[in-house]
Amino acid sequence: MNRRNTLGIVALLVITAAALVLFIVHDPEQRQPLPGVRPTSSAPITAFAPPSQRLPEPPAPPREQPTSAVREELPSAPQGEIEGRVLSNETRRGIAVADVTWANERGAHPVRTDGDGHFVFRPPHAGLFQLASVKADGYLPFGPEWGKSPVQVAFRPGQRVRGVVIELTPSPDLTGRVVDAAGDPVQGATARVLTPRRDEAALFPMRDHFTTDARGAFIFHAEPFAMLEAFHPTRGSGRARLERGAREVVITLQAAPADAGVRGVIAGRVVAQGRPVAGALVHVGSSLRAYPQVFGSPDGYRELTDVDGRFEIDELMPGSYDVSAHLLGLAPVHRYDIHSPTRDLTLELGAGPRLSGRVTEEGKAPVPAFEVALWWRKAPLERVQIVEAGFVDPDGRYLIEGVAPGAYELSVSARGYSPSMVRVTLGPGDGTADVTLQRGVRTRGTVRSADARLPISGARVADEQGGPTTLTDGAGVFALEGLPAGGYSLQVSASGFNTRVLTVTDSSAELDVELTRAPSDGGVKVELYGIGAVLRGRGDALVIGEVMPGAGAASAGLGPGDEVVSVDGRAVAELGFEASIRAIRGPVESVVTLEVRKSGSSPARAVQVTRRKVVN
């Protein structure tokens, strides 16, 4: 993933796109960063739409939201209470008349937001509830299969959790166009939207398969950064990404090889104890062992099993794929190097131990709202996300059921706090892991145009790893709370300007961020400082997928398939993926020393690479 816009808690839960950015298994496998060395995240960035196709930004952001959820004693709420707002994740403004439904085994309990997006829910009795659905006209809904929500809420007598923020993504009509290499429209092409969170919209399914008309066009709805694919049996195939704010996506078909008409399929059943499992999320992604060769979409494909536990993902590029199945409460299953076509694959989910614990802040006060992500450590630099769930509990408690024995990383984040990660080893019995969060650092700055040095109002400033997000005010000023103390990367974007990614190591310094104007005919680009390489973790190394011509990696003779094993003398297996990426980035024209080996077998050699400005 290339920019995990997507994980973060805004005071409580952050629901974005077609659903929660932060909940449930939403991207089981690591994604690839873009040239320039971008870390894995949930919102990949490629090319942006021209400014004329982007939605207008608001002139100024709304008032600041609470920095974190708060637990309060409230004797007037004998069954407990939760209070918060539903916001647009684009404008940060409240959404009026949004329906928020809470449910447990006794039934559903809807509440509706007021004109400012505010809501209060007082349950009929204390106990455990789920956030069952969130829906508003003009926004992508959140609606997992009934009873299978990844957002759990505990109501306790006399206690209120205040400061909950739920975010939805606007859903305007979007236009897709399929053209050939000469730019001519392609009629009769098959197009599909690869939705990353199908399980979170099961109650409100959206159309995701289309056939282009005489203009090569189709109308669709999707979340930002969704991947679109198109295929024509005689004119080739292609893909493109929906960038934030874009109203149109153009998919250019590439000249078809001789076997372009051959399309594969991976199909089968998901079972548990021999019985079919409905509503399981199946993820099919290009085999990591084959990387840097990538089959099909780099984001992979997702499908939900039907009532008989069956799934079918068709129109696949022939090749080798890794396949996994996930369902909350059951241990996931992974199969590797499955060749397409395969039609009789059986994936068996298992029972497993439970992992529970408490999340507290320094001083041991409970954190009442937080996100938990559990990653299986397949190898030092290979992590597979098993669970991503949100918890609201006045006592700061969480419970994850159905985890296979093994070595894991447990990541916990909450609005206003630095993310924390602990390593957990689970045996056949239940496990416990308590986590203490520290208040995150605060950064301030101003966003200006690079040419005239004028402040930019309404610029979006976001933690690249999916943490806090804000908009600049009328003077171009922004402030972000809860950033990691050890360093972080920010992504800054504004309508009509290139997006900039900058790595921050000194949070005490006030930032002065300059954005260059995007050419009216060339689309918006992404600017950052790095070596100009796509990297992905595999085994104990970072594998180079591609290099940008003229960038530092290319000038140093690095190429696809080379494996980086250390950065300035520090092994990447010990640093971890995100820290390794930060270490490789640095000031323009500075030099980083990488130890690189060929194809995982030859001795590593030291290579000095000059960091340069990368525009993609």
Bridge partners (DSSP) of residue 111 are 100
Region of poorest pLDDT, from 373-382, 443-452, 515-524, 598-607: 515-524
Strand, helix or coil for residue 582 = helix
CA angle 346, 350, 354 (to 5 degrees): 155
Beta carbons within 8 Å of 474's beta carbon, 6+ residues apart: 59, 60, 455, 457
Q: Which helix (H) or strand (E) holds 552?
A: helix 552-555
The confidence band for 57, taking pLDDT boundaries of 50, 70 and 90, is very low
Nearest-angstrom CA–CA distance, 580 and 483: 18
**What local confidence, expressed as pLDDT, does residue 246 receive?**
83
Average pLDDT on 527-538 reads 91
> What does residue 579 show for φ and ψ, rounded to 5 degrees?
-65, -35
Nearest-angstrom CA–CA distance, 398 and 410: 12
Find the DSSP H helices in 37-130.
none
Q: Is the pLDDT of residue 520 over 80?
A: no
Cα 310 to Cα 201, 307, 346: the distances in Å are 18, 7, 9
Region of poorest pLDDT, from 10-19, 139-148, 484-493: 10-19
Tokens in use for 199?
């399980």
**Under 8 Å between Cβ of 384 and 370:** no
Please provide the DSSP assignment of 307-358 as one string: TTSEEEEEEEPSEEEEEEEEETTEEEEEEEEEEESEEEEEEEEB----EEEE
- Residues 290-341 have pLDDT tens digits of 999 999 998 999 999 999 999 999 989 889 999 999 998 999 999 999 999 9
Q: Is the pLDDT of residue 585 over 60?
A: yes
Query: What pTM does this model have?
Result: 0.83
Average pLDDT on 2-16 reads 28
Nearest-angstrom CA–CA distance, 269 and 287: 20
Average pLDDT on 580-590 reads 89
**What local confidence, expressed as pLDDT, does residue 348 receive?**
97
Give 194-263 as a 3 state SS string: ECCCHHHHCCCCCCCEEECCCCCEEEECCCCCCEEEEEECCCEEEEEECCCCECEEEEECCCCCCCCCCC
Average pLDDT on 104-117 reads 94
**What local confidence, expressed as pLDDT, does residue 30 receive?**
37
The confidence band for 25, taking pLDDT boundaries of 50, 70 and 90, is very low
**Under 8 Å between Cβ of 460 and 494:** yes
- Residues 332-362 have pLDDT tens digits of 999 999 999 999 999 999 988 999 999 999 8
Residues in the chain: 616
Q: Is the pLDDT of residue 601 over 90?
A: no
**What local confidence, expressed as pLDDT, does residue 602 receive?**
79
**What local confidence, expressed as pLDDT, does residue 523 receive?**
66
Average pLDDT on 459-488 reads 88
Bridge partners (DSSP) of residue 610 are 591
CA angle 303, 279, 319 (to 5 degrees): 25
Q: Where are the beta strands (DSSP E) in 393-494?
A: 397-400, 406-413, 420-426, 431-432, 435-437, 441-449, 460-463, 469-471, 477-483, 488-493
**What local confidence, expressed as pLDDT, does residue 27 receive?**
33
The secondary structure of residue 288, as a DSSP letter, is G
Cα 42 to Cα 21, 39, 289, 467: the distances in Å are 8, 10, 22, 11
Average pLDDT on 251-264 reads 73
Nearest-angstrom CA–CA distance, 98 and 115: 9
Strand, helix or coil for residue 515 = strand
Average pLDDT on 510-524 reads 84
**Under 8 Å between Cβ of 190 and 155:** no
Q: How many helices (H) and strands (E) does the chain have?
A: 3, 48
Find the DSSP H helices in 348-450.
none
**Under 8 Å between Cβ of 298 and 258:** no
Region of poorest pLDDT, from 414-418, 446-450, 606-610: 414-418
Helix, strand and coil content of the chain, in percent to the nearest 5, comes to 5, 50, 45
Q: Is the pLDDT of residue 122 over 70?
A: yes
**What local confidence, expressed as pLDDT, does residue 405 receive?**
92
Nearest-angstrom CA–CA distance, 82 and 163: 8
Nearest-angstrom CA–CA distance, 54 and 61: 18
Average pLDDT on 414-440 reads 92
- Residues 190-232 have pLDDT tens digits of 999 997 776 787 788 889 999 999 999 999 999 888 999 999 9
Percent of the chain past pLDDT 90, that is, above it, reads 64
Nearest-angstrom CA–CA distance, 104 and 101: 10
Nearest-angstrom CA–CA distance, 61 and 83: 22
Nearest-angstrom CA–CA distance, 469 and 481: 9
Strand, helix or coil for residue 369 = strand
Strands 319-327 and 281-286: antiparallel
Domains of the chain with bracketed CATH: 174-252 (2.60.40.1120), 264-349 (2.60.40.1120), 531-615 (2.30.42.10)
